[in-house]
Amino acid sequence: MITASHLVKRFDNTVAVNDVSFTVNEGENLVLLGTSGCGKTTTLRMLNRLTEPDAGKITINGKDVTALQPDILRRGIGYVMQHNGLFPHYTVEENIAIVPQLLQWDKKRIKERVKELLGKLNLSYEQHAHLFPQALSGGQQQRVGLARALAADPPVLLMDEPFGALDPINRQKIRKDFAELEELKKKTILMVTHDVREAFELADRVCLMDQGQIVQLGTPAELREQPANEFVSAFVKGQYV
Ligand SMILES: Nc1ncnc2c1ncn2[C@@H]1O[C@H](COP(=O)(O)OP(=O)(O)OP(=O)(O)O)[C@@H](O)[C@H]1O
């Protein structure tokens, strides 16, 4: 379970995140939704300490994240970056193996895990493991980014626009595969998107943000049927996309 309490983050004159609090229950997929610049990515990055808050507290499974060294903390949290963030000079296999290697898994176990994940994500070890990311399509790169985040089977996953760089057809296909992936069903997930449809398709609950603040947090049905204000109502109807 993740709890974020009264998070604040300023950059110069901008208050990027302004008193944001939420919980993500165990096994839940909470989606941070909102227009560009509303503070979604900054919120996400505070959870694995890529950005340090100016105020507020975050706990993951009961532990204050500031009690752990950032690199140790990040080994226990899967992170799918915007634009996939694969290392271009590492092969697919090497990219996926990064965290298991840091955790000093033996070679055989790492190879088995890479094979298993590539299979689950509709890629093949024989065809793809030895390639560098630039030899893959955008959709394949996103899948490898997801495999990398899942490699050491972390209980918590942070995903920043995981389907963002894709054309609509690929986007929908990967989203469907994602929704069906058994490994993801038991994970506690915080995902960022600006896409209403995507949020409503994947979220257990949606946290709609605007200008650094939460406007409404609820199930997709609650946002649709009981919008807190005009902004929520317009956003849900797609008028802000
Ligand atoms: N490192 C930084 N330095 C200065 N300003 C920043 C920095 N990171 C974010 N900001 C500002 O903070 C605000 C929130 O940015 P953030 O990236 O969190 O929004 P977002 O909702 O994720 O947007 P997007 O969907 O475009 O990524 C924006 O005004 C942005 O310009």
Q: Which helix (H) or strand (E) holds 208?
A: strand 205-210
Global pTM value: 0.92
| pLDDT interval class at 241 (50, 70, 90) | very low
Question: Which residue's C-alpha comes closest to atom 31 of ligand 1?
Answer: 37
Ligand 1 midpoint to CA 156 (Å): 23
Ligand 1 pocket residue status of 83, Cβ below 6 Å: no
- Report the nearest atom of ligand 1 relative to the CA of 209: 21
Across the range 50-66, mean pLDDT stands at 96
pLDDT in tens, 78-117: 999 888 889 999 999 999 999 999 999 999 999 999 999 9
The interface predicted TM-score (ipTM) is 0.95
Instruction: Kindly list the distances between the CA atom of residue 184 and the CA atoms of 25, 49, 68, 73, 211, in Å, as whole numbers in the listed order.
Output: 14, 23, 25, 20, 30
Domains of the chain: 1-76+158-241 (3.40.50.300), 85-154 (no CATH)
Ligand 1 pocket residue status of 14, Cβ below 6 Å: yes
